[in-house]
Chain A
Amino acid sequence: MFEKTLNDLVTGIRAHRRDTALYISQNIAQIKEELKSSDLFVKANALEKLTFLQMMGYTMSWAAFSSVEVMSSPRFALKRVGYLAACQGLDQPDKSPVVLLTTNLLKKELRGATVGGSGENMYHAGLAINALSNIVTEDLGRELLPELLHLLNHPSPYVRKKALLCLYKVFLKYPQGLRLSFDKIKLCLEDAHPSVVSCAVNVITELSDKNPKNYLPLAPEFFKLLTSSANNWMLIKVVKLLGSLVPEEPRLARKLLEPLCNIVRSTHAKSLLYEAVYAITLCLQYVKKADGSQPSNIPGVVDLCVETLKGFVQDSDQNLKYLGLVGFGSLLQSQPKVLHSQSECKGLILNCLSDEDVTIRTRALGLLKFVTTKRNLVELITQLLRHVEAASGEYRCDLVEEIIRMCSSNKYELIVDFAWYVDVLVTIAGIRGIESQGEVIAKQWIDVAWRVLPVRSYAVRRSLEVLVCRGPGVAELVTDNKDADRHFLPEVLPAAAWIVGEYSHLIPEALMSSDGDDEVDTRYDSTSKGPYHALIQSMTSPMDTAGITLIVCNTQAVFVQNSMKVFAAACQRNLQNFGNHGMSIDGIECSDNELAACVDTLVKHLEVYMESPDVEVKERSFTFHQLLLSVGLPRTSTALFSSASLAVTCRNASPTLTYLLIPEPMKPISAKAQRRKLAEGHPSPLSVHEWEEDINWQAFWFLEDQTPWFSQDGSIKGTAESISFTKQQSASSDKISYGDGRSTGGMVRLRTDHIGSPLEGAENISFGSATKNFYSDCASGSSNAPPPSTRREGDPFYLSSVVPSSELMSPTQTGPGKLPLSSKGTKDAAGTTASRFGSIKLDSGGESDEGLTERRSDKKKKKKSKQKAAGVHEVRDVSSSFKNDFAASDEEDDSELYQPKRASLTKPGRAKEFENLALVDLTTPLGEHEVLPRNEHYVVPERPRKSEPKQEKAKKKKKDRKKKASKDYRPAEAATGDLLGFDSLGFASVEGTSGVSSAAIDKLNGCEWETLTSPTGSSNPINSAFDDLLGLEMPMESSTCLSNSGHAKGAIDSVDVHVRKEKKTKTKTKKLKKEKKSD
């Protein structure tokens, strides 16, 4: 039968274009058959085909054993096929048991190179070295390291350089070997043949990548190479190596500059030129002298770099352009300002942004942050925004990320006009395809809104637009061009909602500031009665713009909360107009109609939300619904009530709503104060009872009769134990239906998470210190705090903008609707009622800085006091959450805003693989116990020497036994035997040679020797079978051992070898004893 050759296979595959897979699977079946053949030619042919298929993506690990068989063919042509198959097709070498089988084969080949001296052996060895570098494992490395090292002295450079390169791979798997053999590698640096030197440089470069410290002593030699060599390939490596040493030894940086500059000036090879410039940029980071001054030649060097790199970027060759940009990136790490004066370079980089190659664009983008200044930021960003429109895919995200990074870097140091930045953010939020950036944009938005007081109302306005524009709006009726920008990133919606809710008192102001020409369309849909109503409509609609997709639950929760805040603001608005506040603003005041519509929408939609499957949404909506009922608003339909009467009810409820819903503005605490607070440790324990005195009971006028355990002045009748749930239910169920435990929890947590989890970062900023500005009696308690105005200026939290607005800056923005409350006396009362609730400790309790905490806790408390029995443990929860808030200073928050996501990319997964190698320390001298592992015959002391022939026999018998035992391997084994020409060698020569070897070694130790195989190999029957066969070559082995590693000192050996030897000895002696008996 004639087998298909590789050519047939290739032709066949090309002929079967339709059903390639089928054809290939047929062929694989055929190959499997052929591999069973005993003819090596057939096997080799099959392997060759398989190698081809492997390249096409078919695994061939199942043929590993066959590859080993073919590898052992004496014919070079077949052997090559076997080695190739092993290199390409072996399964992960560490896991493949077949690799062990190659140990002796490879050893034989490596040794073969040293004898005979004919050309052919050299190539055999080359093949083996190549294979070894591909399949090396730790065991293999340990076994073959001596042979490889020996080959470093081979007369032919061909073998020398191959062995040298292979060593690196061996060290990767067997790091201990590095210490033992590094001296030899160093010698290779002085090799007569330049290609060997080049390989040595290669190996050391790679090694120094793992642990540069080890190779610092070699720096002078490399320096010599750098200045003397003319081989560009090697110079590139040398330059690289020296570059990697620089961080370890900064003094080297200054020394290197001169020769590197010489190379830059003289070389014609672009690759070397680039390499040298890149190395200079690395060095520049370390040239600072100990006293902080720069060497005098630095400006010249920098100029040279800039010129060269500029040449690269200007080049029409895209490759050079790319490298130029990479080089600039490295240069700017040390000289960030260098481009500010080079307007030409700036232009070049900007041009690269419009390059059609995305690789180049991405690189240029990375450089942009170095060319931005306060002056050109606006222009640059405008340009970038245009690029965003045109870009696609990941690059679009990169662009947006870069825009935000440029703007927000260093606490917005480049931004002059924050209103402009808000506009930019809104624009970005409307772009499709950058979902991954949504969170960052949302954070920025909120950050700007609360840290930059002057643009706060503007931010409210833009947020309002965003929210209202979501609706079907009038646009749908009119069908103008507004449809285009209706899309907003889902992540920014909660941010917008939060801003509108938190600063809802600014809504009128925000609307007023629109100057006629770009009037905000405040209609959510055709039924909207006014801005407040539109907002509430927008935020309580459970569907998105088109009414198709549901808004995510987190957003819903934030929406519900903030729609209530807006509603509270609307009620308050009317109250102001009714009162003597005077500021009547046309078109913005909240009319009775609008208020009624708000109530209607709220009640209707909250009921929908109450059915939500999401706990958070359900809880919040339920709570608010109950709140609305409890202040006297109708349960379901508002149709029965006139809008006027509804409005009156709302206005009456305004104090309550304001008190509950409109928060104190969050205020920063200076980092110092926070640290002081933390240093103080736990504050003294407070009891729940203390807060009751601070509660504004007037806000809860409607509760008077229904809460029998409170007296009118707010003190509690009776104790917590006397409060009963059943009683509470029956008492309040007619007006406030606290039907179940869930509502209780809801009320308690009313103000805790006023914003959903997407905005967690927002909560990290601490607040509360400034509260005392508004409550002077509280402030008097802590005299060390500076007056409010100076605090504001000195506080790094607030950022200023060009729009001066003293009115806004004034601390009176809390709004007149606020009801004063006092935290005075909380301390005095400490302890008096502590017994009542055991020891409830509030970590956040404190005097001045936690003003808001107290206030918030007050609210908790208030509700708690209504259902006190339920909530004792809740207090603890609240306190711990506040503790977290206080732990984070705003500085930290800033720095965490933009951790580059790419950081993980710089450490690729394979770094772990090199860990061991990096741990090797070459700086300490070798200890006595550190010697190369050697293959030795082991000693069987109690046996007389004359039994040697028997031993051979015994081996033979053992082999036979094993053959019987393992049927699976049988054919393979037989074949191996053939390959090695076992028969032709004959027994006479075997005995003769082993006799010689043992006689020779006997002189040293006076003992008998046997072959020692690879440690793990002893468990493998096949392998030991190989041992027997391959052991025949022993005389050569022992001679190399002797010459190579000083056999005379054989008494000293590494511990593990000893152990192995002992084990082996034991088993051997047992077997031998058996043999004796049978004899």
Chain B
Amino acid sequence: MVCVHHAQLLTFPAHRNKQGQTRLSSYYEWMDMQERVALESEIIRKCLSRSELQCSFLEYRGFKVIYRRYASLFFIVGTKADIDVRALDGSGSIAENYENELGLLEFIHSLVETMDRWAGSICELDIMYQLEQVHFLLDEMVMNGYIVETNKSNILRPIDLIDRESKKTEGMFR
């Protein structure tokens, strides 16, 4: 499962597999470790219990959770929830910015496509074994919670560069 935690946009991206283990998570807002573990397991439990027919949005503990499932991997993005319509009495709502849900779904897809292009067909093990690179890739796309780049070639350029460089200079270590 991929979990993008994004304070403003993505509160946490997390990849999780079907058993609910986190494979990659990145939080853009500080969160206590215990709280984090609890939140992750709660959310993945909720996601797993939902069928294909249900919509990809969840509202949970003040977060809006947007998830998408690719084979056995869940890509989950949490972002701050919009205002609850029922809490408003029509007296004047505050326009609060929240992220466009469909946009985030697009983002997840773009993330997956980028990963695919980088590692062939991405799978759970790829993410686990190359955790650091995946993080780098994610950081290229999302910067402190904002989508900063969606162009695949732009994202992969530094990674390719690094790969080439490291092959050239230090075959012994990497």
| Residue ranges of A at the interface with B (Cβ–Cβ < 8 Å) | 6-7, 10, 41, 48, 51-52, 55-59, 76-77, 80-81, 84, 88, 92-93, 119, 123, 126, 129-130, 133-134, 158, 161-162, 165-166, 168-169, 195, 199, 202, 205-206, 208-209, 233, 236, 240-241, 243-244, 246-247, 270-271, 274-275, 282, 285, 317-319, 321-323, 326, 329-330, 333, 336, 356-357, 359-360, 362-363, 365-367, 900, 902-903, 905-906, 908, 910
Tell which of B84, B95, B136, B144 touches A247, judged by Cβ atoms closer than 8 Å. B95
B103→A130 contact, CB < 8 A:
no
Closest to B56 in A: A319
A996 CB to closest chain B CB (Å) equals: 33
Whether A51 pairs with B132 at a CB distance below 8 angstroms is: yes
Given contacts A165-B143, A206-B8, A271-B106, contact A908 B53 (CB under 8 A): no
30 contacting pairs across A/B (C-beta < 8 A):
A10-B125, A10-B129, A48-B131, A77-B170, A88-B135, A93-B30, A123-B158, A133-B143, A158-B154, A165-B143, A165-B146, A166-B144, A199-B146, A202-B147, A206-B8, A209-B8, A236-B100, A244-B96, A271-B100, A274-B100, A275-B103, A318-B53, A319-B57, A321-B55, A329-B85, A356-B53, A366-B86, A900-B86, A900-B89, A906-B87
Assembled-state Cα–Cα distance A126/B161 (Å):
14
Of B29, B57, B86, B161, the contact of A322 (CB 8 Å cutoff): B57
Q: Are A52 and B87 in touch, CB under 8 angstroms? A: no
* Interface contact A323-B102, CB-CB below 8 Å: yes
**Using Cβ atoms and an 8 Å threshold, which residues of chain A touch B57?**
319, 322, 359
Residue in A57, A205, A365, A908 whose beta carbon sits within 8 Å of that of B80 in the complex: A908
Sample of 7 more A-B contacts, CB < 8 Å, known A76-B162, A168-B144: A166-B143, A236-B100, A236-B103, A244-B97, A322-B101, A330-B85, A905-B87
The 7 closest A-B pairs by CB, nearest first: A318-B55, A271-B102, A329-B85, A133-B144, A357-B54, A57-B37, A902-B87
Could you say which of A205, A233, A246, A317 contacts B97, with CB atoms under 8 Å apart? Answer: A205
Question: A744 to nearest B CB, angstroms?
Answer: 49
Which chain A residue has the least Cβ–Cβ distance from B31? A92
Nearest-CB residue, chain A, relative to B144: A133
List the A residue with the shortest CB-CB distance to B22.
A55
Q: Mark B35-60, 1 if CB is under 8 A from A, else 0.
A: 01100100000000011011111110
Once the chains bind, are B25 and A55 in contact (CB under 8 Å)?
yes
Contact of B95 among A161, A246, A271, A326 (CB under 8 A): A246
B93 x A333 contact (CB < 8 A): yes
Q: How far is the CA of A80 from the CA of B40 in the complex (A)?
A: 26
| Distance of A276 Cα from B135 Cα, bound (Å) | 33
Also in contact, A134 and B33, with CB within 8 A (given A56-B21, A333-B93): no
* B58 contacts across to A, CB distance below 8 A: 359
Is there a chain A Cβ closer than 8 Å to B71's Cβ? no
Q: Are B100 and A202 touching (Cβ within 8 A)?
A: no
Q: Residue B102 contacts which of A130, A244, A274, A908 (CB distance < 8 angstroms)? A: A274
A625 CB to closest chain B CB (Å) equals 49
Residues of B within 8 A of A119 (CB): 161
Also in contact, A282 and B95, with CB within 8 A (given A77-B174, A130-B139, A908-B80): yes
B98 to chain A, nearest CB (A): 8
**Nearest CB of chain B from residue A62's CB, rounded to whole Å:** 12
The docked-state distance in angstroms from the alpha carbon of A205 to that of B96 is 10
Does B25 lie within 8 Å of A233, measured CB to CB?
A: no
Asked whether, in the complex, the Cβ of B166 is within 8 Å of the Cβ of A51, the reply is no
Distance of A6 Cα from B133 Cα, bound (Å) = 12
The answer on a CB contact under 8 Å between B95 and A359 is no
Instruction: Tell me how far the C-beta of B8 lies from the nearest C-beta in chain A, rounded to whole angstroms.
Output: 5
Given A10-B128, A52-B128, A134-B144, A908 and B62 touching (CB < 8 A)? yes
Q: Name A906's contact: one of B22, B59, B83 (CB within 8 Å).
A: B83
Q: Is B28 an interface residue (CB 8 A)?
A: yes
* Chain B positions 150 through 172: 1 when the CB is less than 8 Å from some CB of chain A, otherwise 0: 10001000100110011000100
Say yes or no: A88 contacts B26, CB within 8 Å: yes
Max count, chain A CB within 10 A of own CB: residue among B8, B21, B54, B81: B54
Contact of B100 among A81, A244, A275, A333 (CB under 8 A): A275
Residues of A within 8 A of B135 (CB): 51, 84, 88
Cβ of A76 and Cβ of B165 under 8 Å apart? yes
Taking a contact as CB atoms closer than 8 A, the residue among A209, A318, A362 that contacts B56 in the complex is A318
Q: Is the CB of B55 within 8 A of A360?
A: yes
Q: Considering the chains assembled together, what is the distance between the CA atoms of A285 and B88 in angstroms?
A: 13
Which B residues are in CB contact (< 8 Å) with A330? Answer: 85, 93
Q: Report which of A209, A271, A336 forms a contact with B90, defined as CB distance below 8 A.
A: A336
Cα of A270 to Cα of B102 in the assembled complex, Å: 7
Q: Provide the bound-state CA to CA distance between A166 and B144, in Å.
A: 7
Given A236-B103, A359-B57, are A905 and B84 also a contact pair (CB < 8 Å)? yes
Contacts of B95 in A (CB 8 A): 243-244, 246-247, 282
* Distance A168 CA – B83 CA, assembled complex (angstroms): 23
Report the minimum CB–CB distance from B170 to chain A (whole Å).
Answer: 8
Interchain CB contact under 8 A, A199 and B8: no
Q: How far does the alpha carbon of A533 sit from the alpha carbon of B106 in the complex, in Å? A: 70
Contact with A along B51-85 (1 / 0, CB 8 A): 10111111100100000000000000000111111
Report B-chain residues with C-beta under 8 Å of the C-beta of A59: 33
In Å, the complex CA distance between A906 and B25 comes to 26
CB-CB contacts below 8 Å: B85-138 with A = 85-90, 92-97, 100-103, 105-106, 125, 128-129, 131-132, 135-136
Instruction: List the B side residues contacting A169 at CB < 8 Å.
Output: 144
Q: How far is the CA of A81 from the CA of B135 in the complex (A)?
A: 10
Smallest beta-carbon distance A194→chain B, Å: 11
Q: Is A359 in contact with B55, judged by CB distance below 8 angstroms?
A: yes
Contact status B80-A55, CB under 8 Å:
no
Compute how far the CA of A910 lies from the CA of B8 in the bound complex, rounded to whole angstroms: 11
Given A77-B162, A84-B136, A906-B87, does the pair A195, B149 have CB atoms closer than 8 Å?
yes
Closest-by-CB residue of A relative to B66 is: A319
Quote the shortest CB–CB distance from A877 to chain B (angstroms).
38
B24 within 8 A of A: yes
- Nearest-CB distance from B157 to chain A (Å)? 9
Minimal beta-carbon separation of B6 from chain A (angstroms): 11
* Nearest B residue (CB) for A367: B85
Residue pair A357, B53 in contact (C-beta under 8 Å): yes
CB neighbours (8 Å) of B150 from chain A are: 233
- Write out the residue numbers on chain A whose beta carbons fall within 8 Å of the beta carbon of B86: 365-366, 900, 902
Which residues of the other chain, A, contact B88 by a CB distance below 8 angstroms?
333
Cα-based distance from A460 to B142 in the complex (angstroms): 64
Q: For the complex formed, measure the closest distance between the CB of B65 and the CB atoms of chain A, giving whole angstroms.
A: 10
In the complex, the chain A residue whose C-beta lies closest to that of B36 is A57
Distance (whole angstroms) from the CB of B169 to the closest CB of chain A: 9
Contacting pair B80 A92 (CB below 8 A):
no
What is the chain B residue whose CB lies nearest that of A90?
A: B30
Question: How far is it, in angstroms, between the C-alpha of A336 and the C-alpha of B93 when the chains are bound?
Answer: 14
A321→B55 CA distance, assembly (Å) = 8
Residues of B within 8 Å of A357, CB to CB, are: 50, 53-55
Cα A233 to Cα B30 with chains together (Å): 26
Distance in angstroms between the alpha carbons of A242 and B55 in the assembled complex: 28
> Taking each of A55, A123, A270, A271, which has the highest tally of chain B beta carbons within 10 Å of its own beta carbon?
A55
Q: Does A84 contact B132, Cβ atoms closer than 8 Å?
A: yes
Question: Nearest-CB distance from A882 to chain B (Å)?
Answer: 32
Which chain B residues lie closer than 8 Å to A195 at the CB level? 148-149
Given known A-B contacts A119-B161, A323-B101, A80 and B136 have beta carbons under 8 A apart: yes
Q: Across the interface, name the chain B residue whose C-beta is closest to A166.
A: B144
Q: How far is the CA of A903 from the CA of B170 in the complex (A)?
A: 59
| Complex contacts, A247 vs chain B, CB 8 Å | 92, 94-95
CA distance A892 to B40 in the complex (A): 43
Q: B residues within 8 A CB of A168?
A: 144, 146
Asked whether A906 lies within 8 Å of B84 as measured between CB atoms, the reply is: yes
Give Cα A423 to B129, complex, Å: 63
Contacts of B33 in A (CB 8 A): 57-59
**Residues A285 and B93 in contact in the complex (CB < 8 Å), given A319-B102, A906-B87:** yes
* A52 shortest CB reach to chain B, Å: 5
Question: Is there contact, CB below 8 Å, between A319 and B55?
Answer: yes
Which residue from chain A places its CB closest to the CB of B97 in the assembled complex? A209
